[in-house]
Amino acid sequence: MIATKAISRRDFLKLAGASAGGLAAMAALGHGFKTLSASEARQQQEAGKRVVYTACVMCPAECGLAVEVENGVISNIYGNIHVPYNSGTVCTKGVAGLQLVYNVNRIKYPMIRVGERGEGKFKRVSWEEALDYIATKLIEIKQKYGAESVIMDCGDVTDLDPYYYYLFRAFGTPHTVEHGSICDTPRRHGPKLMFGGKRIEPDIMRPVLVRQPDGSLKNDYSYRTRLIIYVGWNPFTATRINYESRGTVEARLAGARIIVIDPAFSNTATKADRWIPVRPGTDADLFAAMLRYILENHRDDDPFRRYIDWSFKEYSQGWEEFEAAFRSWWDRKDPLNGLPYFSLEWAAERTGIDAQTIAELAHTFGITKPAALVWGMNGIGHHYNGYVASILGTALNVITGNM
Amino acid sequence: MGATWKRADGIVVINYDQCIGCRYCITACPYAARSFDAGYFYSDFEGGQPQPYELLPSPEYGQGRVRRRDASPIGNVRKCHFCLHRIERGQLPACVLSCMGRATYFGDLNDPQSLVAELVSQPNVIRLKEELGTEPNVFYLV
């Protein structure tokens, strides 16, 4: 952790978007340039410019943007400093959003192919004509071959997928495929089943707006998470959860321990406290062993082994059945390796991580609070073992009181 | 020609009205920080005319410079000027504001109380090509 002097890293972030409010602090940074008053700065900043606040659609992250418009033409795309999600940041892909508006090859009106496929011959038509053309063709096909002869297939259209989906359901075909059909489903399966959420993320989005007792909203910059375990999740590379790239580093500087479990030595692993390589596709085995270790070794009367926070029972139901079903496997032996299911040795044989490390991992996760066990798109989100892994992972987060 | 120099605050700047575009400074720069503006617009590569957004003035060295064919800064050498126009009105450089990973910092190194002075006093700091004695003011926290 870095000791702070006149300006802490946190203050630095506060004035990263320094407009009027941040100027006094900017002077404290000692930049050596002239310092303007708040009104002077605003005048200079806004001369001849208009700022339009909008959202980015270049990727599913949908960051808040502040778009500067000069005489009716977009001049700059900046992140919106008031949106905590991206906190004033914007990536180069977002800035390239200019090309959505101004690219010379942008298609601005409907075109119907007139030549052979691949010939590149199109004619410009009105929206009326285009819609009629598509509707006539679709109805023709429906009458001739039936509605189910049509497959709707679209890519990731940034949260517009449901409209395509509903349109073709209304048309009468159940054959709808879009990006969400094949991507990230296993990761969300457990949280969706168990508490209706989508995915579990660590509490490291800073600043975050917090309602104060007097009703006002205040930005909170403090990190409370003490341990983050990333399983098959590499937030330092391009990802829609973009606050995790800066939040992970800042949380670590604020004292959190970062453990990365990934077959590859990923970017995130380079900055983590510990990297544990795992055999691909065995994350569920690891989670099962962690859950068994925590259940077997939990002691209510020993502060060094009090892993489970029983208060979760007040807010949930069905733990008894879940636990009984899970425990019922413990005495059985896996025919593949002859070891009892979910034991440390069993998991060691399956995952390639030695038993001692798994025990350590389970103990660390159980004893450190607040902690977060996070699994990601890169591994669990795209593997059939992810369905089980996300259920076990959710249970682990819930019973240790980290939900 | 005296078209480029290091300011007292450490920022290396270029005077476009002095620069004749000989490009010797590009080969002389050990950090490959400079590039020649040959006059292309993004839309050229897309097969069209320059679009209105490409013809907006960009704030450089205190002037709103419009890129027009056959006029400065086209035909000059250009480089990062640490967003002088932003610094002068008390804002951080755009890359510091925009960085997704919050990996960049900017400030006055001469002020021992500043955050950057504190950061570069750590042991895990390097500068590129120190053996050349150029005393660069860009530090890498590794």
pLDDT in tens, B31-66: 999 999 999 999 999 888 999 899 998 888 988 889
**pLDDT at res. A33:** 54
| CB contact set of B92 (below 8 Å; sequence gap of 6+) | A15, A16, A17, A18, A26, B83, B86, B106
Contact across the interface for B115 and A102, Cβ inside 8 Å: no
Best residue in A14, A29, A42, A95 for a mutation probing chain B (most B CBs within 10 Å): A29
CA atoms within 13 A of residue A174's CA, in its CB half-sphere: 0
- Chain B CB contacts of A98 below 8 Å: 53
Best residue in A102, A206, A249, A271 for a mutation probing chain B (most B CBs within 10 Å): A102
ipTM rounded to 2 decimals: 0.86
**pLDDT at res. A29:** 46
Task: Report whether B83 contacts B93 (CB < 8 A).
Answer: yes
- Min Cα–Cα distance to chain A from B129, Å: 24
Q: Report the C-alpha gap between A318 and A307 in whole angstroms.
A: 19
- Min Cα–Cα distance to chain B from A33, Å: 6
pLDDT tens digits for range B4-36: 999 988 899 999 999 999 999 999 999 999 999
DSSP string, A37-93: -HHHHHHHHHTTEEEEEEE--SSTT--EEEEEEETTEEEEEEE-TT-TTTTT---HH
Buried b (16+ CB within 10 A) or exposed e, B38-65: eeebbbeeeeeebbebbebeeebeeeeb
Please report which confidence band the pLDDT of residue B68 belongs to, taking 50, 70 and 90 as the band edges.
confident
Task: Report whether A177 contacts A156 (CB < 8 A).
Answer: no
Q: How far is CA A160 from CA A95, A179, B18, B96, B121, in A?
A: 22, 11, 53, 33, 50
Residue range B121-140: mean pLDDT, rounded: 93
**pLDDT at res. A261:** 96
Contact across the interface for B88 and A78, Cβ inside 8 Å: no
A141 three-class SS: helix
| A376/B contact by beta carbon, under 8 A | no
- The 3-state DSSP composition of chain A as helix, strand, coil percent (nearest 5) reads 40, 15, 45
Best residue in A8, A10, A33, A82 for a mutation probing chain B (most B CBs within 10 Å): A33
Q: From the list B51, B107, B119, which residue is nearest A102 (CB)?
A: B51
**pLDDT at res. A35:** 62
Q: Report the C-alpha gap between A306 and A308 in whole angstroms.
A: 6
> Which stretches of chain B sit within 8 Å of chain A by CB?
9, 42-43, 46-49, 51-53, 56, 87-92, 94, 96-102, 105-108, 110-111, 113-115, 118-119, 122
Q: What is the pLDDT along chain A (403 residues), one digit of tens a residue?
A: 233 345 555 565 555 444 434 444 444 444 445 666 777 766 766 667 788 999 998 888 889 999 999 888 999 999 998 898 998 999 999 999 999 999 999 999 999 999 999 998 999 999 999 999 999 999 999 999 999 999 988 877 767 777 888 888 899 999 988 887 788 889 999 999 998 887 899 999 988 989 999 999 998 999 999 999 999 999 998 778 889 999 999 999 999 999 999 999 999 999 999 999 999 999 999 999 999 999 999 999 999 999 999 999 999 999 999 999 999 999 999 999 999 999 999 999 999 999 999 999 999 999 999 999 999 888 898 899 999 999 999 999 999 999 8
Starting at the edge strand found earlier in the chain, the sheet holding A274-276 runs A274-276, A257-261, A227-231, A371-375
- Chain B CB contacts of A102 below 8 Å: 51-53
| CB contact set of B24 (below 8 Å; sequence gap of 6+) | none
For residues A271, A275, A279 and A284, what is the CA-based torsion angle, rounded to 10 degrees? -90
CB atoms within 10 A of CB A102: 18
Tokens of A147: 């509605």
Q: Report the C-alpha gap between A392 and A53 in whole angstroms.
A: 41
Q: Report the C-alpha gap between A165 and A152 in whole angstroms.
A: 8
* Angle at alpha carbon of residue B128, lines to B126 and B134, rounded to 5°: 115
For residue A37, the Cα-to-chain-centroid distance in whole angstroms is 39
CB atoms within 10 A of CB A143: 9
**pLDDT at res. A2:** 36
pLDDT tens digits for range B79-100: 999 999 888 888 889 999 899 8
Question: For B50, which DSSP code?
Answer: P
Residue of B nearest to A241 (CA): B100
Question: How many CB pairs lie under 8 A apart between chains A and B?
Answer: 124
**pLDDT at res. A251:** 94
Q: Report the C-alpha gap between B136 and B115 in whole angstroms.
A: 18
Contact across the interface for A29 and B114, Cβ inside 8 Å: yes
**pLDDT at res. A30:** 44
| CB contact set of B123 (below 8 Å; sequence gap of 6+) | none
| A19/B contact by beta carbon, under 8 A | yes
**pLDDT at res. A166:** 86
Q: Report the C-alpha gap between A290 and A362 in whole angstroms.
A: 5
Q: Report the C-alpha gap between A290 and A179 in whole angstroms.
A: 32
